Structure 1
Amino acid sequence: MSGAGAPEVQVVDGTGLRVGVVAATWHAEVMGGLKDGVSRALSACGVTDVTLLEVPGSFELPVAAARMAAAGYDAVVALGVVVRGGTPHFDYVCAGATQGLVEVSVRTGVPVGFGLLTCDTVEQALDRAGLPGSSEDKGFEAAAAAVATAGALHHLPTHTPAALIG
């Protein structure tokens, strides 16, 4: 199980934070569960200023997350699901989306909650989507992590030396 060894999800006070959620539209049932998990987490954290932006697929998540970060959101949550098929497409989409989301976070200093499921089967995705009967709730986890990171970074200076961002 992928969740083995994971710490308990911490819900922190996110009152006053502005959070952007960018969600792919592939695999509607899985995405519905992920978005519901994000809503539950943000509500538990006291976040009320939330904007949802839907994009066609997971490959489009980084550009939308970058735009949200540039627009002044305190945190962004990226949601998507890619299911392995019979071609290398899976590897390219997963690697590109993951690297893009990391780059957004590092270059902007805005936390990006990683809710991109990269699964071998639809069943694995459903089991991580936070649906009734799922063993994990990755949408909740991604949102809680983004809010917690935004809170942890709140008191640090925002200036990043150029050497760190290439």
Structure 2
Amino acid sequence: MAEPQRRVGGVEKTPARVLVVEARFYDAIADELLKGAKARLEAAGAAFDVVSVPGALEIPPTIAILADAASACHQPYDAVVALGCVIRGETTHYEIVTEQSARALMDLSIARKLPLGNGILTVENEAQALARARVAEMDKGGDAAAAALAVLRLKRWAGCV
């Protein structure tokens, strides 16, 4: 019996139109996340639009609104990258924002079959956030872009486009 094919998203060129939605609540962290995402998308040969929103809860509805608008204009996005940061505070607001933003992103991705890289950091403090955001360290913005492109390659391989 033949071995099944294994597909893994790599770093090969992926011509695509990508929407990047970034939350600017923490500017220094957002700058680093965006730097990593842009570098990864450029390396893959993807075209992208960047839209900024105030916080993580605004990311999912913005993606839905802009994805619908792009499709209506016959210029749909092939993938989406969500970037932001939520730092735990003294109230339960952290749990609401992290859980609801993650749930809404997953719902969007599945319902629309939209490759999506979730680069919303959920951390205890600013030091953790910066370590994860910095391109020279963990580069989670770049990782989110790579994840979106990997799923897009798999979607195309499966013949869903």
TM-score interval w.r.t. the shorter chain? 0.7 to 0.9
> Which of the numbers 148, 153, 156 marks the counterpart of 1:154?
156
**TM-score for the superposition, normalised by structure 1:** 0.83
Q: Please show how residues 1-166 of structure 1 align to structure 2 within 5 Å.
A: 10-15=10-15, 17-47=16-46, 49-70=47-68, 71=70, 72-132=76-136, 134=137, 136-158=138-160
Equivalent pair of 1:69/1:110 in contact (CA under 8 Å): no
Root-mean-square deviation over aligned CA pairs:
1.6
Q: Which runs of 5+ in 1 are unaligned?
A: 1-8, 160-166
Percent identity, please.
Answer: 37
SS at match of 1:22: strand
Change (3 A) 1:156 1:10: closer
1:148 Cα deviation from its structure 2 partner: 1.3
Amino acid at match of 1:141: D
Amino acid at match of 1:148: A
1:158 Cα deviation from its structure 2 partner: 4.2
SS at match of 1:116: strand
SS at match of 2:49: strand
Change (3 A) 1:53 1:94: same
1:155 Cα deviation from its structure 2 partner: 3.7
**TM-score for the superposition, normalised by structure 2:** 0.86
Tell me the distance in 2 between the aligned counterparts of 1:30 and 1:20: 19
- Superposed CA deviations along residues 52-104 of structure 1, whole A, max 9, x for unmatched, are 11111001111112223332100000001000000000000000100000011
Tell me the distance in 2 between the aligned counterparts of 1:106 and 1:90: 24
Aligned length: 147
Change (3 A) 1:149 1:131: closer
> 4+ residue stretches of structure 1 with deviation over 4 A?
none
Q: Which runs of 5+ in 2 are unaligned?
A: 1-8, 71-75
SS at match of 1:60: helix
